Chains A and B, each alone.
Chain A
Amino acid sequence: MRIGDLVDDGWKRLVYPPLGIALTIGLWHWACVRFDISTTVLPKPGLVLQAAIDRYDLLLAESWVTLKETVYGFALALALGIPIAVAITGSKTLNLMFSPILVALQSVPKVALAPILLVWLGTGIESKLAIAWLVAFFPIVVDTAAGLQSTPRELLELARSLRASRWQVFSKVQFPAALPFIVTGSKVAVTLAVIGAVIGEFVGSSEGLGYLLLAASSQINSPLAFAALFALAALGILVYLAVVGAEWLLSPLLPNAHRRE
């Protein structure tokens, strides 16, 4: 009975999602034809696919640029965010001094900073990377800090009663306790990093998917703009899955909810 259910379920999992996608695309095509929507407003799915096939080299090249900006920005956010979270949770003084600044910075719409960063860093990859970093940075700091603070007080006392060094407390107790939070923060951060990179490209760039999207739209080449949009979605899913993959690799260190079994 149970195995039957499982097989049944597996079959549904394999067939239903593509069926949903096919239905959506079918509906899209039908709407374009039925309401005679102009290609400029909403190109038929076939045209988008055609544009994607015709310009796949361009799409790939621009995706590569955006991917680099995203990954570098995200990596930098991890590399800076975790130590900063450690510093502000580990020291009351640093916390009191810099938490308000962090909160204030966090509430600034990052889009508003994009033009300034562009002025500072130019129209090259640096400014995109900086914006991607900026949007990915806060979720990582906030979640890492929350994770570090979630360590049960008794565990810290246990470590203290054994005269553990600060490094031992951090590496053996606090950091492992914070790891699930860091993973959660990373999932949010990496998708935000894509948005950050695209914002940067919108504001000033001569490459990347965001730039392609703008360029195609201004040339009223809607099929290519839509193809770029799909490439962007694919890129977002890809980087998210990369973080899920990292989570899977780390699963021996994570508590139950995150563990592979």
Chain B
Amino acid sequence: MTFGVLENVRKEFPRRGESAPLVALDGASFSFEKGELVSLLGPSGCGKTTLLRIIAGLIGRTSGSVRIRGEEVEDPHPDFGFVFQAPNLMPWRTVLDNVLFPMEILRQRDARAKSRALELLAMTGLKEFAAARPDQLSGGMQQRVALCRALVHEPALLLMDEPFGALDELTRMEMNDLLLDIRARTQATVVFVTHSIQEAVYLSDQVFVFSKRPSRIVEAIRVALPYPRSARTRYESQFSALASRASRALGVIHEGAA
């Protein structure tokens, strides 16, 4: 069974003083299999974050259907993990306590949860910072803590909203490799929102390119590059071919100019 299926997802926001609503999403349809990493790529304000929040069940949709494992998404589901653009750690908690936050909410904070949290911190190279406070960590390290927090309850689906957008180029590339590594180990299914073409192609099994508002999917790209991927992948001709295809779809490169 296909893991996630979206059909004609449409989202309108009412506009004050105007009869016509703002169409944030004009019918998005795509699907992905269990264990896949799919990217939603598009310009800022194109509604890809809105779509992610719809998949998470945090906001409703005007019409269309979102089915995860055959079930229609209506409400937030604790089986999903969420990573935001900002780490959003709690400054009053230690790193370990931040990671364990979901387990606390789910009332499953026990020895097993703690060892899982420490294992994730070790995977992300933060083991010795378990007792540190978030403000003692760099931005990249904080985002790694947020990633651990999203994964601690072993969610079936990981939703990431431009998680590395605020990081510098080198840290971002490091985080990309870390994410792929963690995905290989945890078998997580990931929906990843980004506005970086390179990042989308590097990470994903599939890239869905969104147009500006009213936003729709203008191109679906299957990235057939084998995993594990490495810095070398970025210089392969197939990689640049896919990247320029995505660029064309985005309208960054015009037809014929490439």
Contact = CB atoms under 8 A, between A and B. Distances in A.
Interface stretch (B26-34, B84-92, B120-128): B84-92
B90 A155 contact: yes
Contacts, number: 59
Contact of B135 (A152, A164, A173, A255): A255
B73 to A, nearest CB: 11
Interface of B: 53, 56-58, 75-78, 80, 82, 84, 86, 88, 90-93, 101-102, 104-106, 133, 135, 153
A255 B92 contact: yes
A154 B78 contact: no
A162 B88 contact: no
A256 interface: yes
A42 interface: no
B105 A256 contact: no
Contact of A162 (B86, B90, B92, B105): B105
**Which of A158, A172, A179 has most chain B Cβ within 10 Å?**
A158
Nearest to A256: B135
9 contacts: A154-B84, A157-B58, A158-B88, A161-B76, A161-B82, A162-B78, A163-B78, A172-B101, A256-B135
A101 interface: no
Please name the 6 residue pairs, one residue from A and one from B, whose CB atoms are nearest each other, closest first: A255-B91, A161-B76, A162-B105, A154-B84, A154-B88, A164-B105
A220 interface: no
A87 interface: no
Contacts of B75: 163
Residue of B78, B91, B101 with most chain A CB atoms under a 10 A cut-off: B91
A55 interface: no
Interface string A224-261: 00000000000000000000000000000111100100
Contacts of B93: 176
A162 to B, nearest CB: 4
A162 B91 contact: no
Contacts of B78: 161-163
B76 to A, nearest CB: 4
B57 A161 contact: yes
Interface string A139-168: 000000000000010110111111110001
Nearest to B89: A155
Nearest to B153: A162
A253 B104 contact: no
A98 B80 CA distance: 38
A162 B80 CA distance: 8
A155 B88 contact: yes
Contacts of A159: 105
B102 A162 contact: yes
A154 B86 contact: yes
Given A162-B105, A168-B105, 17 more contacts: A154-B86, A158-B82, A158-B101, A160-B58, A161-B56, A161-B76, A162-B76, A163-B78, A163-B105, A164-B105, A168-B104, A172-B101, A172-B104, A179-B92, A253-B92, A255-B133, A255-B135
